[in-house]
Amino acid sequence: MSYKELKSRIDAQQVTFLDGGIGTEILRRGYTWASHQLKSEPELNLEIHQDYINAGADVITTNTFQLSKRSFRNHFANDEHLAAIGARGLLDRAGELIHESVALADKARRSINHNDTLIAASITTLEWCFRPDHSPDVEEIYDEYLEELTDYADAGADIFLFETFNSTPEAEVAIKAAKEIGIPAWVAFVPYQDGRLLGGQSMAEVADAMARNEPDVLLLNCAPPDHITAGMEQLAPLWDKPLGVYAHVGKFNPPEWQFTDEYSADQHLQECKHWHDLGATVIGGCCGTTPDYIKKLTEFFS
């Protein structure tokens, strides 16, 4: 399936399925998620992508969350310190891993004859996604995004999925960079329990900012179901273009994830039904969800 065909389906309000958690699924299968396991366990990455495709996902995401030059550079006091104690070629690693992640997703869809599955590049904020107070100066980050997105484009990603964003200014920069490169942009924001973004912006402000920038899909993600519901109830009446959701289940237990039984796959499906009633037509799962969660969705909505 081409992206043009997928967009036609989405614009016609047909339900489109995202995959579920990648990093947490690596953790659930007995490995740490901290290194993405792209070099050490490529077959594990491949199997997870295959499992989500077999569960019915129309779009699978690269295992590249928080993978950027900045994320490596932030371990050091400054560039001189990095040069003194950092591993050789460290800042080139992000680009290498981006290419490997897209290649693994592509291999997964080809290996089981699902070439119509599209690949979304998982791209989050340049600083830690749950700390809007650490957001960089938006006047200084355009080139940084352009470099990162170029790696994904060269690797063959079909969609730029800007996810777990906590305020609109950085998202606007990311979308502008995506438009320069010419690959479709989807944008997902994190709502808090009051329905506002973590950065404090209202859903009215989100709708206004996104109307100026026109992502192909506007989503809410990486929050527990009740926070997603609060955000959706405020956003949906303000947005007449494609909407999406993918909530997390469980708790963040730094540096990794804690699996809980608060939301089973069946309970998650019930939440997704409600979000669909509110207007969401692009639906998947975030941290803690598994291929079984996605299979429940595809069986019900297909």
Domain assignment of residue 48, yes or no = yes
pTM: 0.95
Residues 76, 134: contact at Cβ < 8 Å?
no
Q: What is the pLDDT of residue 254?
A: 87
Residue at 271 is within a domain? yes
Is residue 207, in this structure, part of any structural domain at all? yes
The answer to whether residue 161 is domain-embedded is yes
How many distinct structural domains can be found in the chain?
Answer: 1
In angstroms, rounded to a whole number, what is the distance separating the alpha carbons of residues 193 and 92? 38
**132 has pLDDT over 90:** no
> Mean pLDDT, to the nearest integer, of 43-60?
98
- Domain carrying residue 99: 3-290
Strand partners, 165: 189
Question: Is there a domain that residue 296 lies in?
Answer: no
As a whole number, mean pLDDT of residues 256-278 equals: 95
Q: Which of 22-36, 43-57, 72-86 has the highest mean pLDDT?
A: 43-57
* Residues 72-104: b if buried by 16+ CB within 10 A, e if exposed: bbeeeeeeeebeeeeeeeeeebbbebbbbbbbb
Could you tell me the pLDDT band of residue 154, with boundaries at 50, 70 and 90? very high
Average pLDDT rounded to a whole number, residues 100-110: 97
> Using CB atoms within 10 A of its CB, is residue 166 exposed (0-12), middle (13-18) or buried (19+)?
buried
Residue 299 falls inside a structural domain: no
Question: Residue 243: is its pLDDT beyond 90?
Answer: yes
Please say if the pLDDT value at position 115 is more than 90: no
User: Given this model, what pLDDT does residue 83 score?
Assistant: 87
Give φ, ψ of 122 to 5 degrees: -80, 110
Q: Which residue has the higher pLDDT, 115 or 151?
A: 151
The mean pLDDT of the chain is 95
Distance, CA of 63 to CA of 47 (rounded, Å): 12
Q: What is the SS3 assignment for 239-259?
A: CCCCEEEECCCCEEECCEEEC
pLDDT computed for residue 239 by the predictor: 98
Do the domain assignments include residue 301?
A: no
Of 105 and 132, the structure prediction assigns the larger pLDDT to 105
Q: What is the CATH number of the domain that holds 26?
A: 3.20.20.330
Report the first-to-last Cα separation within the chain, whole angstroms: 17
- Which range is least confidently modeled, 125-129, 210-214, 226-230? 125-129
Kind and range of the H or E run holding 83: helix 79-85
Tell me how long the chain is.
Answer: 302
* 273 has a pLDDT exceeding 80: yes
Closest CA to 121 of 84, 168, 72, 158: 158
- Whether 222 shows a pLDDT value over 90: the answer reads yes
Residue percentage of the chain with pLDDT more than 70:
100
pLDDT at position 248 over 80 = yes
- Chain-centre distance of CA 166, in angstroms? 13
Whether 302 is in a domain gets the answer no
Sequence-separated (6 or more) residues with CB below 8 Å from residue 240: none
